[in-house]
Chain A
Amino acid sequence: MKKRDRLEIINDILELISTRSVKPTQIMYKANLSHDMLNQYMNELISKQFILENKDKKGQRTYSLNEKGLNFLRDYKMIKNFVDSYGLNE
C-alpha cells in the first residue's frame, strides 16, 4: 500500500471535519494517525487557520472547518496535481 504524503493526510483530516465538528480521537482513528502525528497536524492546521478548535460544555475539544480549509478541499485536486508535478511533497 502506497504511503500517504502530507497533502493527502491533510485532505483526509479536512474531509472528516468538513461535514460536522469532530473530536480528536475520531480524527485519529478515521484518518489512521498516531497520537503524536495527530497533534502535529492539528497544531499546524490551527496555526495555518485551516480549522478551528472549539470546546463543548464538558470541556471536550472538537474541530470544525475554517474558510481556508474549505478552499483547500474545493481545490485539492488542482493543488495535488501541481505539487506532484513539481515534486514538492513534504
Chain B
Amino acid sequence: MSILVNKSTKVLVQGFTGSQATLHSEQSINYGTNIIGGVTPGKGGTEHLGKPVFNSVAESMELQPNAALIFVPAAFCKDSILEAAEQGIPLIICITEGVPTMDMLVVKNKIDQLGITLIGPNCPGIITPDEAKLGIMPGDIHKKGRIGIISRSGTLTYEAVKQTTDLGLGQSSCVGIGGDPIPGSSFIDMLALFNDDPDTDAIIMVGEIGGNAEEEAAKYISNHVNKPVISYIAGQTAPSGKRMGHAGAIIAGGKGTAEDKMKTLQSAGVHVVDNLLEIGIRTQQVLD
C-alpha cells in the first residue's frame, strides 16, 4: 500500500509536448510510471514519447486516466485543472509555479465541491517508490519503505528523502503539497491518508514560514493521528514581511513565524527538530 498513486495509476499529462513535460514524463516513464498519454490542444492524433496525444481531456477519457499531471504555463493552469476536474479525474497534480492566487481561490472551491484531490501547484509532485513517479523529483534518491513524507518545499523534501534512504528507512509515499498560499491539498489532507495507510509507520512533515497550515495540522494531529509525526520548519532565520521565494512563505504582521509553528507542533506531541540534518536520525530514534 501507499497513498494516492501506485503501479496501476493511469496518468494523463496535460501540456504533454512542452519541454518540461517532455523531460519529466520521459523520466517518469523510465521509472515505471504508467503514463497512458497526454493532452496538447492542436496536436491531437499525433504520438509523443510513444504515447497518444489528445486535443482535450474529454477525448482522452477513452483510455480511462485516473490521474492528471499538469505542466502547462501558470496562466493556463486554472483552465487545465478545471478541464480535468470536469471530466471527473479524481487526482490532479499541478507542478507549475506562479499560478495567480485568485485563480486558485476559484479552483480550490470548485474541486472541493466535486470531491477531487488536487496536489500543488508549485510543487514537486508525488512519488510512491518503485511504483509511480508523478512529478519532477529525482527518482533514484528514493527507496521503498515505511515513512510518509509531506512537504511545502521541493528540495527540502529531497533532503528528508535522502536522509531516510541513507538510514535504510525508505518511504511509503512522498507528497510535495507546494509553496503557494492556496494549495490544492493541505498537510491535514495528507496526514489523514498516511494515518490510514497500513504501510506507513511514521510521518515526516516539512513546513515553512507563512500562513497557519502547520498550526492547523498540529490541531489535527493531536486529535486524529496515532502515528508518530516528525517535523522541521524552514525559515527560523527569515525576516518579517519578505517573501522567501515561495509565494506563501512570508511572515505577515508577525504571524506565521517558524518559532510559533514549532511550539504549536511540539505541544501537539510532534517530534520537532530545529536542525534539518536531524530529520532522518530523529525519525529513526522515534521508531526504535
Q: Do A and B come from one complex?
A: no
